[in-house]
Structure 1
Amino acid sequence: MTARRLRLTRGVALLAAVALTAACGLPRSGPTRGEIFDGSVLQQGDAFVLVVTDRVNSIASVAPALGFSSEFLNAGLVGSDIINPGDTLGLTIWENVSDGLLVPTGQNATVLDEVQVDGAGFIFVPYAGRIRAAGNTPDRIRQIITERLGDQTPDPQVQVRRLAGDGATVSVVGAVGTQGVYAIERPTRTLSQMLARAGGVAVEPEIARVTVSRGGHTGDVWFSDVYAAQNDIALRSGDRILVEADTRSFTALGATGAQSRVPFESQTISAIEAIAQVGGLNPALADPTGVFILRNEPEAITEQLVGEELTGTQRVVYVLDLTRPNGLFFARDFAIRDGDTVYVTEAPFTQFNKAISALTGSLNSVGAATNAAANVGQ
């Protein structure tokens, strides 16, 4: 009986020592499940802790959509035949006489390449004088030149071509095949055509993001959505087009396969995909009932979630219990957003095991030191 009481006493002492050791602050990857719940507004904390359900998913998984405003969508195609200041024209003039005004002797035509439209919108043609080009079509300019030369040479024939110039242009920069300034011509009057002219995108198309700046307005769209009719906007002179890889990311912490800042690999990513992207739950440490997503939610969304009036952005902690019925489905449907923190708590037994290991390790060290001292004393 005495031996049994001794073993019981030792067991109680060991448990007390384990509890004391755990209370002393063993190393761990972050707060426990209970500590996170203690931060709830229901416990006088400053965060709303919500268990994910279908209702929560329908509210919280609404992601900001990309697209162009009416200023971009309502703009019609630029008339590519309209000449602008800075454009470059090519002129060819035929004369029906051997000794013409412009045509060299022995030839029937003269070519005037790269006739620049000046800042005021005019060009100069020998014997025809200064001609208003900006705002006219090549055909109208042809008529004007023909009329003016017709008074000095019989029945001249004139051809006017609009060359790629610096008049109506856009700049294309970022992750494209060839960055540069491009003229808006007949084949490049829309966003998709201009991106093709610049060599296409140089990053994964799935995560390529296109930004168009026009005056004081800016619009963003996914590259894959540019080819939808409503997003293939007409370009305007001075537009700035930026193509870049998606910069969104989330942070993974706790008992996961990796703890790091993780970039998005697709336009949308679910909680299940986010966990898989960092190697899944650590089977030796993770508590599948304690998967948390920490997020700052806008006022409007938080009010829908909690059913009360609030002011300003709110801290919200979403709880995913993967062991619940449909828990995996809830996690599959929960959309991760830019800046989210995915945190997985350690299972309770993990801390207990750490305490046991720390205690037995300490006792073994003490025993070894005692034995060594005893050996020295002999």
Structure 2
Amino acid sequence: MAIIRILIAGLAFASLSACGAAYISSDIANFRGDDSVQVVDLSTAVVAQANRSAYQPEALPAAFSRIAGAGSRLRGGARLPEPVFDPQTRPGALELRVPPAVDPGSYVIGVGDVLILATPRWESSVEEMAGLVAAQNQRQGYTVQDNGDIAIPDIGRINVGNMTLSEAEDAVFERLIAARIDPTFSLEVAEFNSQRISIGGAVREPGVVPIGMLPVYLNEVLAQAGGVDVGSDAFSVIRIYRDGTLYQIPTADLYADQNLQRIRLVNGDSIFVDTAYDFEQAQAYFEETIQRAQFTQNARANAIAALQAEVSIRRNALEESRQNFRDRVEFGAAGGDFVYIAGEVTRPGRFELPFGNTATLADALFDAGGWSEATGDPSQIYLMRGASAGEQLSAITAYRLDGSNALNLTLATRMELRPGDVIFVAEQPVTRWNRVIDQITPTIFNLGAAAVN
């Protein structure tokens, strides 16, 4: 009976072979010695020689390397005319005109102010707000931007413009709660830049005095400017320009009356110590200065708006160009340099070579999921490459990588790919036998059943 079974199996295999149905596997090793195929084992020297073949990766279009602001330039407004009003003659009798008392209330946060968010360093909120506290640890605050926002990492933008410090703390508190962050903090104004008083004229150090949380008085501003620098108090006057109205205090009256020294100043006040202007000329001078400043500011704002519009148009054009290229690549109208992967790999197919860079054997092999652990033979990994330009079209080089030695995988990370390369992983001998058995087993059973009947 055993002899009969062997004969049946042999007849079945012969029958399969005769009709061409027997399993036949791909094998590159059988081509060793063939003049048209050169099988070369990969080594460091072989990799270096193979990589010397001429190849220039396809470059991305220039739109992917350009920026929208390239070549843009901020253009200012027209040149301002020369000032008209200059010091003329010393005034005669000086009239005392005192500005009314004011109470601006609590300090209002404005553009340019620098806020510091202080948190306890020993509590867990510091770790939860790592990006937010880093600046405070280094004494770096958050500057209020043109639209009144401050940008806090991990929290986002919070509008605090035209708010008191208490209102700003409430706004920050709500955002921290919304972000599920421990809201233990205190808000401080580190730099007062939004509210100012300007002082000029006959003072030793003209400039700008910022207004902070505390009230600012006339004698303090004069002291910060180095004091009045005039030859005679009888012919000097301190002029205060506020909300389109000009007030004046003769220097002699200022020193004689302490209440005049404690006049409270507010944001936007302009102080000018004059020794030659009369009232009308001083008022004209301030009005001209304000008009020139407003003209410059408006021209600057218009130039910024024009620049932003230009950059936006360029950005849209660049993005449209880039999207057109992506669509062409998607539909196969651009690019098209591929390497083909076959044999015992997890995902056979093709691997697209990147733009502007080279890829290696390891990149393509592991992009395909690597060789199959169940059926692939890691010692028989081949990279097949056709002839270069000028050589015979039939010449093929098969570079063999012995991946059974893990150290050889470093060669795969250095072996560069070229368009049209084919990567092939051979099957294990036992895999070949199993597939043959799987193919002939049904026929054996059929023949055996026929013999029994």
| TM-score band, normalised by shorter chain | 0.3 to 0.5
After TM superposition, the score normalised by the length of structure 1 is: 0.41
Q: Which has the higher strand share?
A: 1
